Structure formats: C-alpha cells, structure tokens
Amino acid sequence: MNVLEVRDIKKRFGSKTVLDGVSFSVPENCVFGFIGRNGAGKTTTMRAILGLLRTDGGEIDVCGERVSYGSTPKSGCIGFLPDVPEFYGYMTAREYLTLCGEVTGTDSRTLKARCDELLELVELDKEKHRIKGYSRGMKQRLGIAQALINRPRLLICDEPTSALDPVGRKDILEIISSAKEQTSVVFSTHILSDVEKICSRVAFLEGGKTVFSGTVDEIHAMKSGSALELTLARSEDTDKVAAAFPDIKLYEGKLVFPKASDRECCDIMAFLSAKEIPVLRLERQEADLEELFMEVIGR
C-alpha cells in the first residue's frame, strides 16, 4: 500500500506556473528523495501535501484519505519538519517533546517512554541544556523527534540537511534512515549525494513537472551507458588497444571507454582475448546520481 499518492497537481501564483503536473507515490517504510533545483517547486508541493496550500488541480491522498486545503487527514498520520524549525528556547528537549506529545493527545502513561525513545534516536537523551543554546544540527535532530512524537505513518522533511556541516548532515541522514523502521520518509533536497546514501525511491522535479519517479535502480538503468575502465598488465599494449577503439581515452595510466554499452564491452573483451593482451583490472564505472539527474532533465 502507498502511504502517499500525488496525482497531477498544479499550482499557479498569478501568471507564474510553479507546479504543472507533479505526480509520484510513496510506499510504506520507504525513504523517498524528492529532488530538484532551488526554486523547482519542492516546498510548494510539500505545503500542498500538508493541506497548507490550495492547488489549482490534481489530487493528493495520504494514508488513503484525500487532502484538501485547510485540513490534513483526520488520522493525524503526517509528521513535518520544516527547513528551519522553531522552538521555545527556554525549554529543554525533553520539556519540548512532552509539550508536543500533550498537544497531539499522546497518552500520558506512554508519553515519557516515547520521549525517551525519540531522544535516544536523535542522540539528545543526555542533553540537559536549553534549546536556545543548540546548534543548527541539534535543532534539526530535535525537529525530527518532534515530528515523530505521535507515530506518524508519513514523515515529511523539507531540506533537512541544508546549511549543515558534513558531520551534521551525516547525523541527520543516519536518523532519517533509522526512522524508516517506524514510518515512510519523504525529504526534499538538491544535495544529490545525500539521496544516494539512504533513498530507495526518488522523484525528479524540473520545470514544475515530475520528469522521473521510481526506484534508484530504475534511474540507473535509464543511463545509456557508463564508462569502462581498463588497466593493462603491459604498457606497451596501450597503443594496440587505442588503435582498435578510437573513442578510448588515457587517464592516469588507465584506458577509459566512455559510455560503453554491453555490446561494446563484449567487443573489448573479445579483442583482448584474441590479441592475448593481459589485463590487471576491468571495471564498470557507474554514473552517480548527479550525472543521471542532468541526463534526465536534458542538461
């Protein structure tokens, strides 16, 4: 079952079209990367999913319930982390989570245990200082805990790793990856390396449209070819191989065949075998997500 279904949503602000047919779905217990450049419409889409923005067309279902402007599903199954979360600075993390639990109606008998669980998840269980003294990364971690307080089936994070240092980004990604045991996670980002680390499914947003939605394996399969890297045992054989394959490039002592198809790989291996050229290493270099994104959007 899909926790989230977004079907052909549209949104205009005056004469500017921001969303022009955004569609994707998110299954249960999945980390879903919502990818697009700054200004591509990621935050607008998330506001629509939360019922905070009226759309001009399309449909959104969360946990089987239709989302409409001004309301979210009655089951309370969405948790949300904005890009810059705000807190009551005079509180501690435990005090703030307790307040959030009381507001959401979490049973008082289980609230302390839930706060303990979440503070341990985000590694703030030993933190006694007031929130006003927290770093940006600590606030992001507390924001995730707050969004999970009522055990939502869908957690939406708007650019949770932006403006964080490498250590902070790593911490947030590990927490998000761990959270998928409890919920499905959608996080928007323009940092493609973050998506590669933890996501199983992605959607690419460009020009207000979804230009791809599917698994990470599917997006890799769309690549027309990836480089083949060859290291020969004898340097004197380099000229023979280069003469037989004009597109080859020499890079740091290795022969690189850019965008080599499976057929071309077979041809290369057959040539090496026929000429009895010894090989130290033959490796396919897969394209990273940044290259794939640029190819999909046609840049």
The larger pLDDT score, comparing residue 76 to residue 282, is at 282
| Coil, strand or helix at 86 | coil
Cα distances (angstroms) measured from residue 200 to each of 26, 122, 158, 189, 274: 10, 22, 18, 15, 41
Percent residues over pLDDT 90 in the chain: 38
Closest CA to 33 of 167, 192, 180: 192
| pLDDT, average across residues 41-66 | 92
CA–CA dist 123, 240 (Å, integer): 58
- The β-bridge relationship of strands 31-36 and 184-189 is parallel
Fold agreement (2-221, 226-287): no
| Coil, strand or helix at 13 | strand
| pLDDT, average across residues 71-87 | 81
| pLDDT, average across residues 254-272 | 78
pTM of the model: 0.75
Burial class from Cβ neighbours inside 10 Å (0-12, 13-18, 19+) for residue 133 reads exposed
Going by pLDDT thresholds of 50, 70 and 90, the confidence category of residue 297 is low
Query: What pLDDT, on the 0 to 100 scale, is given for residue 156?
Result: 94
Q: What does the pLDDT look like over 54-63, one tens digit per residue? A: 999 999 999 8
Closest CA to 157 of 131, 183, 133, 130: 183
Query: What pLDDT, on the 0 to 100 scale, is given for residue 291?
Result: 63
| pLDDT, average across residues 230-239 | 85
Closest CA to 216 of 143, 113, 287, 274: 287
Cα dihedral value 261, 221, 174, 39, nearest 10: 110
* Residue 12 amino acid letter: R
Cross-strand partners of 279: 232
- Listed by start position, the domains of the chain span 2-221, 226-287
Say whether pLDDT at 74 is over 80: no
Query: What pLDDT, on the 0 to 100 scale, is given for residue 77?
Result: 87
Q: What does the pLDDT look like over 203-231, one tens digit per residue? A: 988 888 898 888 877 776 655 556 777 88
Helix axes 136-147, 93-103, angle to 10 degrees: 30
Query: What pLDDT, on the 0 to 100 scale, is given for residue 91?
Result: 95
Cross-strand partners of 296: none
Cα distances (angstroms) measured from residue 157 to each of 9, 144, 154, 176: 19, 8, 10, 9
- So what CATH class is 226-287? alpha beta
Say whether pLDDT at 102 is over 80: yes
Say whether pLDDT at 82 is over 70: yes
Cα dihedral value 89, 93, 96, 102, nearest 10: 180
The reply to whether CATH 3.40.50.300 applies to domain 2-221 is: yes
| pLDDT, average across residues 280-294 | 67
CA–CA dist 238, 154 (Å, integer): 55
Cross-strand partners of 150: none
Going by pLDDT thresholds of 50, 70 and 90, the confidence category of residue 165 is confident
CA–CA dist 154, 180 (Å, integer): 9
Q: 14-34 as b/e, with b when 16 or more CB fall inside 10 Å?
A: eeebbbbebebbbeeebbbbb
